[in-house]
Amino acid sequence: MICMFHSHKYGTEKSDFIMKTELTISSGLFFAEHVNDNFDDNTYLEIMSVDNPMKPWTIRVMDRSFLHQDKLSIMDFEVYLGDIYILDYHSGVIKFDITKAQTIVITGRYRTDSGFTKLGIYTNFLDTSFLLILAHDHALIEVDWSNQIKPQIVTKYSIPDGSWIHDIWVNEQYVIAQLTANLTNEKGVSSSTQSTYVFSRGSRTYLNAYAAIPHPNFHAFVDFQRDTGQMLTIDT
């Protein structure tokens, strides 16, 4: 199965987002050509069957009318432990499933209009803890979503103001953010810096991060195995 959606490439303001088409399949994430920026509030998700890879066909479409919303700007997307999550710039996180009858069923929402642009998810094997990490250009917000009726903001992590978040992850020990930011050195010279910050959960600020891993450019590949706490970084 392929899930295809029209989304944004992150900038510092919503007007800077570039519409992209992203294909998420079991082996990775692939980017295609962008779509018209004028329709950034009318993005949608297509769920496609690829039983025959040469002839994929659309099973269902999730758009703003399906969700009974005036606007839908999909910023991020994740498939995790059999569930599908989308992050809408205007309304927050939407969790859904696809039944055997190929029907979309919404199974949870975390409502927020704070303009988050990146999403990370973690739950332990016993399903006793469910964590969300949400990001915009100056902070990461950790949310305990174990009780969907009463979600609680646990910690706010500061990051350099105006950061471009590439990706974020969370597990029981760490919050991790790969980002690009303009930092000023001891001589007062500002430059664009690419780094991956590893926060011990609860540490609150990037100045007190457990580790800050520099990258030579924004093409660095970073991935995090949430169950084992192992991280892979490849610089180019």
pLDDT of residue 2: 53
Nearest to 98 by CA among 82, 122, 110: 82
- Bridge-based pairing of strands 130-135 and 118-123 is antiparallel
Q: How confident is the model at residue 16 (pLDDT cuts 50, 70, 90)?
A: very low
Residue of higher predicted confidence among 21 and 115:
115
- Looking at 1-15, 33-47, 48-62, which range is the least confident one? 1-15
pLDDT at 23 over 70: no
Q: End-to-end alpha-carbon separation of the chain, Å?
A: 31
Q: Give the integer Cα–Cα distance in Å for 151 and 166.
A: 25
**Residues 154-167, mean pLDDT to the nearest whole number:** 93
- Residue 215 half-sphere exposure toward CB, CA atoms < 13 A: 22
User: Using one digit for the tens of pLDDT, what is the confidence trace for 169-213?
Assistant: 999 999 999 999 988 888 888 889 999 999 999 999 999 999 999
Reported confidence tier of residue 57, pLDDT bands at 50, 70, 90: confident
Q: Find the radius of gyration of the CA atoms of the chain.
A: 18
> Collapsing DSSP states into helix, strand and coil, what is residue 38?
helix
Q: What is the pLDDT of residues 96-127, one digit of tens each?
A: 988 888 788 999 999 998 899 999 999 987 66
As a whole number of angstroms, the distance between CA 217 and CA 164 comes to 13
Contact 157, 206 (CB under 8 A): yes
What whole-number distance in Å separates Cα of residue 41 and Cα of residue 67? 13
pLDDT score of 18 more than 70: no
Report which of residues 101 and 165 the model is more confident about.
165
Question: Mean pLDDT of all residues in the chain?
Answer: 83
How far is residue 145's CA from residue 156's CA, in Å, rounded to a whole number?
A: 15
Contact at 8 Å (CB) between 154 and 140?
no
pTM greater than 0.75: yes
